[in-house]
Each structure stands twice: as structure tokens, then as C-alpha cells.
Amino acid sequence: MAHRSEDCKPLSISMRKFEGFPKLSLISSQPDVWLFHLPTEVDFDNKIPTGFFEQDFVRFQEKLPEESVVCFLTHPHIACYVIEELQNIINFKLWIAVKRKQAILRQGALPDDHVALLIFTNYKGSLQHNKTQIAYTYCPACDKTTKDYGGKKHLYSPYGTLMSDIWRDISYENDGEPKAILNRLKDLFGLEPHKQLVYCDGRDFFEFSTKEKRCTTGTAVQVKLPHSSDDVLNDPGESRLLNGDCIDILKTIPENSVDFIFADPPYNIKKKYDSWDDAQDITDYFSWCDQWIAESTRILKPGRTFAMINIPLWVVRHFSFAKRILDYQDWIVWEGLSLPLRKIMPAHYGIICFSKGKPIDIANHEEEPDWEIFQESMSLKPWYCVRSACIKKRNAIKITDRQPIGNLWWDIHRLKHNSKRVDHPCQLPPALMKRLIHTFTREGDLVLDPFNGAGTTTLTSEMLGRKFIGIELSATYHAIANERHQDLRKGKDPFAKNGTTPKAKNSRVARLQKQKYEVPKKTLQLEVKEIAVRLGRRPDREDIVKFSKYPIRYFDEYFIDWGEVCSAVGDKGMNEIPSPSSSNARQTELSFGAV
């Protein structure tokens, strides 16, 4: 078993052939968990019709007991329509990306590596489920855990890590029943009052093939695209950084002039930006988003790509507007694991890609002459670690540990070290931008970022031999980007460690002051664990004052909060070397990763 759910009472599984949403008489008074299996492959020569649920789902939902859970398993493109239609009827909770066992090839897009598992509830409030851990995976080359846990092994369970909203340890097979997903859901929701998981296979029932004329010009009847102003920016192919409002500046750029647009806008989640209110009324926020999406569409060249990154629900809202003036191209899942804010770790960032008409073929990575860039544009094979010693060994004995990318990107990590950050609260890793730009552009193409921030997009564009336009509202961030470009032209690495601590923060967790620890934090946490064993409970501050051999000031000054002080208490302490059973499990998992 690749997972373990605490206090689980596994649900029974009822298999049904889907013939329309169940008749009201078939719905029991018991609050079941439902899984509707919709098509996971899409004919992109046809549009998916809106209103495909009509009133059937409304009548079904109204009959459901309040504690019910409703899940949909489908293709990401269809998932966007499902959320769009149902989010005002039933409460959307989670988009889980599940790896495919075999990728689906599509022209003009990356191989489809994942399916969407959507979770809705008939109740409001937090999703109720069992705490679930995913078993550790181990590197095929060094037999250590895929992730290097460094000096924090004492903080982790011997079994595995907390589950996230990206499932790569199990796989979805294109044919048959999704047994691995059913097995996980029956444990995940195996708690009162649920007793049954009802699986309804509707892949043959739903046929998303209503013919619609494709948008080949980037203009659709529903939305009238804006026109450029009289003040047209001369020579849009000249690289430049521009300080000002992105909508105003986009209006000065000629239509059909940009090869690739990437947008990482403020998410409206109360981040502290220098010149932007990130807590707007949600209607005003999306009205603003629609304006820069429309202007970006106007200046994009036919056949080229416009990519937007955001949390999944906001990406779906961008989709609702953009589908009227652009063609859906791809949904890239970036596994950017962040802070453990809930019992399912938030890791899923959606990068939705649209093309202006039929997309041109994406770049062929195998044509890249630069070995370093070639390596960055490829993906690590499943479960290989990123320890420098292991990489060196693999290179020495010529182990092939890379493969062409699909649209599930798990091997690019967030910027976690302050030494690689500058004074901007939200910075994407340069490896992510290098992969995007390398995938969707060729040398000499023009890349535009309307929210350039500290310059990650434009810097990586220049490093890859692309032209760029970076637009930034904040004069402070604009100046930082300018300085970094100057450093690049002097031969300096703008993404190297800089030895400073930025003032801007990317999370609400307080930053500890730099200090020299007289006693290692690990030593203090392990002592707290010993005290907890003696007391038979989690110790409080008074217990540490009474029983610890170290001054209480160490605990006050070295840790963010009391939860971190006690983080080693309980079933903690992992073994980095696999047991025979986990090695066997790893071999099974590795077979799932083949493309």
C-alpha cells in the first residue's frame, strides 16, 4: 500500500454504470462519497459544450445529504468546465492532479501526463477527511529517499510524508476502473458518517463532441478585443524593461507581435506588494484580469502560446474568460510544495496555456546544442534524487536519469533559501521559467511578461537568447530587475546566492533573526521528545522550564512557535535507507513512471 490513513474505517465500494445522474429514488439517506468517471481524453478538434449537466445535477445535489462528497475524475480541460458550471451549485474543495501511467500524445502540446480529480462537498467549511501519509520513495541510484531531508530526519514519520494534492505514487490507467484512486478515496474519506464510495463510470455516457467553429484569429463573437492606442510602442522586438501599469503599456504594443506571453499575476491573497493592493473585491480583481488577458491576446502572434499561472480555482476563472478569445492548449501541473497549511499539503499550481488559433509545434528539446540547457529542459526520471554526490556518480557511470517532459512538472523546487531571493514577495524559480521559455519559444523569439517583478522571466529570456519585454508597476521592483540585467551583462549570475536577507516575505510565517545557535535546534527538539515520553503528553513551556537542561531562552529565540519546538514529539524519526518491503514498492512505483 502506497499510503496510510490514520483512524481509517475503509468505505465499501459500490460500482454502477452511469446512465445519467442517479434517479432521486436511488439516492439513499446515507451521506455517501460519489466518484463520477468522465472522459479523460479529449478530441481537440471539437469544443466541449457548456451546460452539459443541465438540470440533472441540480436535482441530484438537492437530494444529497448535507455531509455528502462528490468527486469527478476527468481530463483537465473538461475539469475546467465542470468547476465553471458547478461551483455555484456545490462547494468546490480541491483539484488533485493524478499521474497517468501512460502519457497521451497531442499535437501542439506537451504529452498529457495527468488527470484531474475534483472534490466537491455538499457542506460548507473545511474538507473532512483522514490524515493520510504517502510512503517514502527511494532513488534507484543511491537507495536514499528521493528527497534529501538533511538534518530534519527526526521530524518525519518513519512511514512517509503528509499527502499533497498531486498524486504521483499511484497511477491512472487509461482503460478499466481506476482501482488505485478508488482504494485511496475509500481510506481518505473512511470516517463517520460515510459508509460507502459509489463509483459511476460515465466515460461512454458523456460525449464531448459538439461541433463548434474553432477560433483561428484570436477573436470570438462573445468578446470584442481592444484596439491598440495611437501611442504605439516602436519596434516591439527590441528588448526592454518598462515601468508602469501593464494594461496601459500593453495597449501601446502592436497586435500580433509577441511570440510568447507568461503571466504570474498577484493572486489576490493578501500578499504585501510594494505598489499593489492584493486584497481587492473579487469582482474587481477578475474584471482587471479580463482586461490584461484581452490585451495580451491582441498582441500575441497567431499560433503562439499565452501561459498563466495561479492556484487552480483562479486558473479556472481565467479559463472562463480566455476560452472565448483563445484556444485551450494545455494544463501544466507544477508541483511547487509550500507550507503545510492543512492536512492535504498544497502543492498544485496550474499553468494554463492557450494558443491564438491552432498552435504551432512546441520546441523539440533534442535539438538543443547546449548541454546545460538541454538538461534543464528535460525532466528527471521518476524518483531519482537531486543530491550532488548522487548526480556526480550517475554522470560518471553514465546512468540515463533524464527523459522528455510531459505536463506534470515535479522536479523543479520553489526558492526556499533567502540567499537566492531578492526583495520581492513572490519569486518563481528560474528553472521553471527556463523550461517554459525553452518549450514554447525558439532563439530570437520575443517573450513578454506583464508582471515582471524582480525580472525572473526577462533574465531567463536573455540567458536563453530570446528578446523580451518586462512590464512592472512597482518602481522598486523595476529597479531591481534593471540591476540584475546589468549584472548578467557583466558576466554575473543573477540567480546566485547573494549573502543578504531580503526584507520582503513570501509567507505569513515570521522570519527568525539570523543567529548562531549555541545548541543545535535538533538537540533541543529531541530533548523535548524525551520529556514528552516521560510525561506521557506534549509538554508546555512550564514543563520545559522545569525539566530541560537548557535555558528556556533557547526555545523562545530559536523557534518560530511552540509547534516547532514540539515538532519531534510523537511518531517521528525516519530511516533514509529503504527496508526490503519499501524497495519492492519502489520498483513497482518506478514501473508506473515509464512514458
Q: Which 3-state string (H, E, C) describes 225-289?
A: CCCCCCCCCCCCCCCEEEECCHHHHHCCCCCCCEEEEEECCCCCCCCCCCCCCCCCCHHHHHHHH
Confidence band for 542, pLDDT divided at 50, 70 and 90: very high
Residue 457: the pLDDT is 96
**What pLDDT is attached to residue 214?**
32
The answer to whether position 413 is within a domain reads: yes
What pLDDT does 584 receive? 40
- The domain of 539 spans 514-595
Q: pLDDT-based confidence at 248, cuts 50/70/90? A: very high
Distance, in Å, from the CA atom of 201 to the CA atom of 194, rounded to the nearest integer, reads: 21
- Do 253 and 192 share a structural domain? no
Count Cβ atoms within 10 A of the Cβ of residue 46 and give its class: 0-12 exposed, 13-18 middle, 19 or more buried: middle
Examine the domain organization and report whether 332 and 394 are in the same domain.
yes
**Residue 212: per-residue pLDDT:** 37
Q: Are residues 465 and 553 in the same domain?
A: no
| pLDDT mean over 545-567 | 93
User: Taking a C-beta distance cutoff of 8 angstroms, is the pair 425, 504 a contact?
Assistant: yes
Rg from Cα positions in the chain = 25
Asked if residue 585 has pLDDT above 60, the reply is: no
| Euclidean distance between CA atoms 322 and 441, whole angstroms | 21
Q: What is the pLDDT of residue 282?
A: 84
Residue 498: predicted pLDDT? 72
Is it the case that residue 2 has pLDDT exceeding 70? yes
Kindly indicate the confidence band of residue 370, based on its pLDDT and cuts at 50, 70 and 90. Answer: low
Q: Tell me the pLDDT tens digit for each residue of 476-487.
A: 989 999 999 999
Lowest-confidence region among 130-144, 224-238, 308-322, 503-517 = 224-238
Q: 235 lies in a domain?
A: no
Give the separation between CA 59 and CA 404, rounded to whole angstroms.
45
Q: Long-range contacts of range 547-553, CB-CB < 8 Å, 24 or more positions apart? A: 548/524, 550/519, 550/524
Query: What does the block give as the cell for 448?
Result: 513578454
Which pLDDT score, from 0 to 100, does residue 186 have? 97
The string of pLDDT tens digits covering residues 36-65 is 999 998 776 555 656 666 668 888 888 899
More confident residue, 132 or 270: 132
Task: Please tell me the least confidently modeled range out of 3-17, 177-191, 502-516.
Answer: 502-516
What single letter denotes the amino acid at residue 121? T
Per-residue pLDDT at 184: 97
> d(Cα 530, Cα 553) in Å, to the nearest integer?
19
Whether omega before 193 lies within 30 degrees of 0, making that bond cis, reads: yes
Contact 85, 55 (CB under 8 A): no
E strand spans, 311-444? 327-335, 348-355, 379-380, 402-403, 408-409
Give per-residue pLDDT as tens, 156-211.
Answer: 888 899 999 999 999 999 888 999 999 999 999 999 999 999 999 988 877 654 33
Instruction: Summarize pLDDT for 85-140 with one digit per residue, the tens.
Output: 898 899 999 999 999 999 999 888 999 999 999 999 999 999 999 999 999 999 99
Q: Is 392 exposed, middle or buried (0-12, 13-18, 19+ CB in 10 A)?
A: exposed
pLDDT value, residue 500: 67
Instruction: Report the interhelical angle of 282-299 vs 312-322 (nearest 10°).
Output: 50
Q: Which range scores top for mean pLDDT: 57-71, 328-342, 502-516?
A: 57-71
Residue 27 and residue 170 share a domain? yes
Average pLDDT of the segment spanning 317-335: 94
* Domain-located, residue 115: yes
Residue 480 has what DSSP assignment?
A: H
Determine the pLDDT at residue 424.
Answer: 57
Q: Which helix (H) or strand (E) holds 430?
A: helix 430-440
Domains of the chain: total:
3
Question: Per-residue confidence at 583, pLDDT binned at 50, 70, 90?
Answer: very low
Same domain, 458 and 555: no
Higher per-residue confidence, 205 vs 218? 205
Average pLDDT over residues 343-354: 93
Q: How far apart are the first and last CA of the chain?
A: 23
Domain shared by 341 and 459, yes or no: yes
Dig out the grid coordinates for 248 from the structure.
496601459
Residue ranges of alpha helices (H) inside 34-188 are 56-63, 76-86, 179-188
Closest by CA position to 299, among listed 373, 368, 227, 391: 227
CATH number at residue 196: 3.40.50.150
Tell me if 76 is assigned to some domain: yes
Q: Which strand (E) or helix (H) includes residue 163?
A: none
Any domain includes 410: yes
Q: Same domain for 437 and 473?
A: yes
Is the pLDDT assigned to residue 588 strictly greater than 60?
no
Q: How far is CA 183 from CA 175, 322, 404, in A?
A: 17, 36, 30
Q: Any idea which residue has 502543492 for its cell? A: 347
- For residues 323 and 442, membership in a common domain is answered with yes
Same-domain status, 455 and 518: no
Average pLDDT of the chain?
84
* 207 is a domain residue: no
The span from the CA of 448 to the CA of 472, in Å, is 11
- The bridge status of strand 33-37 relative to strand 69-74 is parallel
User: CB of 490 within 8 A of CB of 118?
Assistant: no
Q: 485 and 519, same structural domain?
A: no
Residues 257 and 388 in one domain: yes
Q: 302: exposed, middle or buried (C-beta count within 10 Å: 0-12, 13-18, 19+)? A: middle
Distance CA 454, CA 476 (A): 9
For residue 454, the one-letter residue type is A
Angle 475-412-260 from CA coordinates, rounded to 5°: 55
Read off the pLDDT of each residue in 360-385 and give the average, rounded to a whole number.
74
Whether 14 is covered by a domain: the verdict is yes
Residue 566: pLDDT above 60? Answer: yes
Work out the percent of the chain whose per-residue pLDDT is above 90: 58
Q: Which residue has the higher pLDDT, 465 or 418?
A: 465
- Asked whether the predicted pLDDT for residue 213 surpasses 50, the reply is no
Same domain, 315 and 410: yes
Judge whether 425 lies within some domain.
Answer: no
